[in-house]
Amino acid sequence: MQIEVQGGLWQHYQTLVTEKMLPYQWAALNDQLPETPASHVMANFKKAAAGIREDYQGIKFGDSDLYKWLEAASYTLGKTEDKRLQAHVNEAISWIRKAQLADGYLNTFYQIDQGVDKRWTNLRDNHELYCGGHLVEAAVAHYTATGETALLEVAEKFAHHILTTFQEGSPQEGGYPGHEEIELALLRLYQVTTNKEYLELAGNFIQHRGQKPNYFDQEAKQYNHGIQTWWGDNHRYSQAHEPILAQTEAVGHAVRAMYLYTALADFARIKQDKQLTEKLLDFWQDVTTRKMTINGGIGGTAWGEAFSEAYDLPNDTAYNETCASIGLVFWAEKMFELTGAAHFIDILEKALYNGCLCGMDQEGEHFFYVNPLEVTGTSCSRKDHDHVKGQRQSWFGCACCPPNLARLIQSIENYHYYQKQQRLYLNVYGESTFASGVAAQGTQFKMKQVTNYPWAGSIELTIEENGGQINELALRIPAWVKAAKVYFNGKIIPNQVEQGYLLLAADFQRDDKIQLFFDMPVVANYANERVPELVGKVAVTRGPLVYAVETVDNGTDLANIYISEVTGSQLLSNFPIGDSLGIQLEGQQRKSVGSLYMVEKPSFERKELKLVPYFLWGNRGAGDMRIWLNQKN
């Protein structure tokens, strides 16, 4: 199966990552950006390779940033010849191979700082398995993209090391990671190598999690780690408070939860585990109907980067880590593979366009770690808003988000289509080509997609070849679409939708055309009454995109903007930047008065408002922003 992005929004972002983001991040990993804090990542690999046992610097899980960068770079090399990028990838792999110990162990934090004799003694806090998981994912991506095995050999050697480390009768028997990631990585490795030991090990990590007596309690007692004093010792932070099937809601660190649920969904699909599938559906319902913001953000509290209680969804303090929305994309895709239902892709799309893309600027060199729904300059100075930034940052001490976003964008074509036997699902619409089968054997199916989605709701598919690989198309009708028309060779198709897909079965021939037309009006959105911060508020969307007001267009007093309806709104071409579309609509602004309090009713004046796609806010300088506006009846 070959998929290629050929234009539109996603080609813009893939080009930006290739030309700007990956070189910039390579410089950051090598401490070559004088105005940003040193990451020490590559320096630590070089020390470990040289056998240096002191002077580790940087965050303890810094290895994972290089692995995520390598994964993104590998996807890129699968699309384009880039000699400079290839040289950087080869250099990174060379240092990784040199740093790996003879028994397969690899973690620069332990090899330099903690001591190899203390490895695997603090699974709760020290991220060895988390880093190893990202090594495995990078290796799978590199092997798949290039056919080379240099990094895959490292990953398999590491995998065999942990197979031994966590085998029955070992000191670490029954252990599992504090930060989930290795589980989903082992499943990817299994699907590339077909080695069932990797599947079984992933299953063991899943099965042992949260069992009594709790492994983290035993480990802390044996090695004198103590409790996590800032969070408590109930292990909800790492989803290890109960066995997975006994858990009733999404809790704890949001990224950890997303990586766990992603692995659970893939494992349930492979094993056809109905009980685990039902539990995942419960988690999904909890996250997406009670704990997710309108921009696809999850993990709303800065305390632990974690889920809060149901309907606790503040605007200005929302944490909504970029990595959490990326994790939601991963999980949603695996839930789709598990169930075949389009509503998982609807959430994937919401998180992708709004929660993820907001994490980077249009230069590819500045990033948001958190994504609130409202930013006010005065409140950003408060201590309880320390995590909220009015501008994207050049780098972070914990820089997990930038390379995570890079690997998502560079693999975005994998979310466009999904083939199951002779049915082809179209999930994320975007200008692209899809090919399956072997042209030389006359079995190739090839299709081209032309669209300006998400800016426009028209999509044209042209069959370029069909050697019998595909006889049915499953065309996703997004949940936000109220009116859709689909034509096959000029004839309208009845809208018979199954699990969110319009199914079109045919003996497809060269030059067959399928056209989809989705109405894409400007829409006013209202929140559930149980979200107190959103009572009397309205948010504006168009298609899959959430919109926001910014200071640069609407002045500094965004808190006093009101709208009553969105009818009569107009689209603004090339606004705020590039080929994007903004929205202009009529609102009102409360007039300013001098008194702090008064008995007179406030008065209002007409105000023309300009709204930008939320993911593009902050690209024209510092200023305030908000999604939810006051509703005026």
Locate the DSSP E strands across 491-628.
Answer: 491-492, 497-498, 501-505, 513-518, 522-525, 537-542, 545-550, 561-563, 570-573, 581-590, 604-613, 625-626
- What is the CA 151 to chain-centroid distance, rounded? 24
Phi then psi for residue 220, to 5 deg, are -65, -40
Q: Contact at 8 Å (CB) between 389 and 370?
A: yes
Question: How far apart (Å, rounded) are the C-alpha atoms in residues 363 and 386?
Answer: 25
Question: How far apart (Å, rounded) are the C-alpha atoms in residues 146 and 153?
Answer: 14
- Type of residue found at 221: K
If one counts every other C-beta atom within 10 angstroms of the C-beta of residue 504, the result is 18
Residue bearing tokens 């709303």: 300
Phi then psi for residue 581, to 5 deg, are -120, 125
Q: Reduced to 3 states, what is the DSSP secondary structure of residue 482?
A: coil
In DSSP terms, 514 is beta-bridged to: 461, 488
- Type of residue found at 465: E
Q: Contact at 8 Å (CB) between 492 and 508?
A: no
Residue 384 tokens read as 């309880």
* Active-site residue identified among 323, 358, 400, 401: 400
* Active-site residue identified among 305, 321, 333, 349: 305
Residues 6 or more apart in contact with residue 88 via CB below 8 angstroms: 26, 73
Q: Contact at 8 Å (CB) between 562 and 587?
A: yes
Active site residue 128: no
Phi then psi for residue 498, to 5 deg, are -125, 120
Q: Contact at 8 Å (CB) between 127 and 61?
A: yes
Active site residue 305: yes
* CA distance readout (Å), 134 to 184, 407, 541: 10, 11, 35
Segment (H or E) for 486: strand 484-488
Catalytically active residues are: 305, 400
